[in-house]
Amino acid sequence: MRLLFLSTSVGPLGTGLGGGVELTLYNVALEMLRRQHQLTILAPMNSQMGNLPIVEVAGELQVPAQTQDRDVPVIMAGNSVLVNMCEYARKVQSEYDLIVNFAYDWLPCFLTRFYNIPIAHVISMGSLSQAMDTIVGEIVQEFPGTIGVCTKVQAETFTFAKDCKVLGSGIDLSLYNYCETPENQLAWVARIAPEKGLEDAVAAAQILGIPLKIFGKIQDQEYWEKILRDYPDAPIEYVGFLSTTALQAQLGKCRGMLMTPRWVEAFGNVAIEALACGVPVIAYRRGGPIEIVRDGETGFLVEPDSVDALVDAINNLDKINRYYCRKQAEEEYSLPAWGDRMEQWFKNILTADKRR
């Protein structure tokens, strides 16, 4: 297959601004190239990921959908990178079999009807806006099977849940080393933004006096500085946004990883990255982690937004056999298995497409 990827529109690939969907796009690309498919990735300027075939597209980045209210109008800058990516795709579409859209945006969904080749939409978040819900709901009716999601619980945030293709996720397990004996520290890994609830993890670390290592791009500087003001004595260390190899080396040394999402996390790639290193996951019982963490076996699912529940779970971390965490990653989240599912999804869309 000749594939044309449209990247997330909120940041250059490789900067961490795109969050989990950057790793998702990267891993799908690797898997498709490994299977000898042809691939071109359209992405914002300054995108760089390994030696993937990226065509950089100029234009203003999109406003992250999760920072907007549900009923705001569709926003597009005058010189929008999203518009420019869609226009580029229109020009070259005859050289490809399938477009795969990773942008959580109205335009590529609306334009599906205007292209001569099909589009597979990778929906990387739960329901956030009326505009997206409406257009994706229309597209999934007109082009059945072309809306891909990560988890069932993410699908259920949409009225068209039953029409979504649940694809899960996967990571290259060979990049993640199992760590049997951790140091007395905890990890938190995500974009530093309000929807990720970092303050709860910091509060729990402060109560227990256990060092918390924070990994991820600072997306909302004011939010970060407020946490530093509110918890001046918390035992936290901001490590930064690291490459997978560097992240897993530090993540593995942690007794557990805290996931404190305020929103319905579509999946939570960081959860399977932690498991792959043998690190138990303590997560709010909300969104994707519900379908990932085996409560009491590879981590704990706790009452959402409860710092006390986080503290209790942290005090029980020694009950978790770290090897079970690695085993679960191997059983459920290997890259080849996920690559097979993605490839089959693409092929099914091509077979079903009446325009061919």
Contact with ligand HBI (CB under 6 A): which of 27, 47, 62, 80? 62
Contact with ligand HBI (CB under 6 A): which of 3, 32, 65, 136? 65
For strands 119-122 and 98-101, give the pairing: parallel
Nearest distance in Å: CB 7, ligand HBI: 8
Residue type, 158: F
Contact with ligand HBI (CB under 6 A): which of 27, 40, 47, 66? 66
Binding status of residue 5 toward ligand HBI by CB under 6 A: no
| Candidates 60-68, 107-115, 144-152, 311-319; binding stretch for ligand HBI (CB under 6 A) | 60-68
Binding status of residue 64 toward ligand HBI by CB under 6 A: yes
Contact 270, 190 (CB under 8 A): yes
Query: To which residue do tokens 């770290």 refer?
Result: 322
The dihedral over CA atoms of 22, 25, 26, 28, expressed in degrees to the nearest 10, equals: 150
Full DSSP string of 70-122: TTPPP---TTBHHHHHHHHHHHHGGG-SEEEE---SHHHHHGGGG-SS-EEEE
Contact with ligand HBI (CB under 6 A): which of 6, 10, 42, 281? 10
Nearer to ligand HBI by C-beta: 117 or 125? Answer: 125
Sheet containing 54-57, strands listed edge to edge, beginning at the edge strand earlier in sequence:
54-57, 38-44, 2-6, 98-101, 119-122, 147-149, 165-166
Contact with ligand HBI (CB under 6 A): which of 14, 16, 20, 108? 20
Residue 214 has phi, psi (to 5 degrees) of -110, 120
Radius of gyration of the chain (CA): 20
Nearer to ligand HBI by C-beta: 111 or 210? Answer: 111
The distance of Cα 179 from the centroid of its chain, to the nearest Å, equals 24
Window 85 to 114, contacts with ligand HBI (CB under 6 A): 103-105
| Candidates 15-23, 112-120, 275-283, 284-292; binding stretch for ligand HBI (CB under 6 A) | 15-23
Window 113 to 172, contacts with ligand HBI (CB under 6 A): 124-125
Nearest distance in Å: CB 125, ligand HBI: 5
Query: CA of 292: how far to CAs of 211, 243, 287, 341, in Å?
Result: 25, 23, 10, 17
Binding status of residue 261 toward ligand HBI by CB under 6 A: no
Contact 7, 18 (CB under 8 A): yes
| Candidates 4-12, 30-38, 234-242, 288-296; binding stretch for ligand HBI (CB under 6 A) | 4-12
Nearer to ligand HBI by C-beta: 124 or 260? Answer: 124
| Candidates 13-21, 90-98, 182-190, 275-283; binding stretch for ligand HBI (CB under 6 A) | 13-21
Nearest distance in Å: CB 183, ligand HBI: 29
Chain positions contacting ligand HBI, by CB under 6 A: 8-10, 18-21, 62, 64-66, 103-105, 124-125
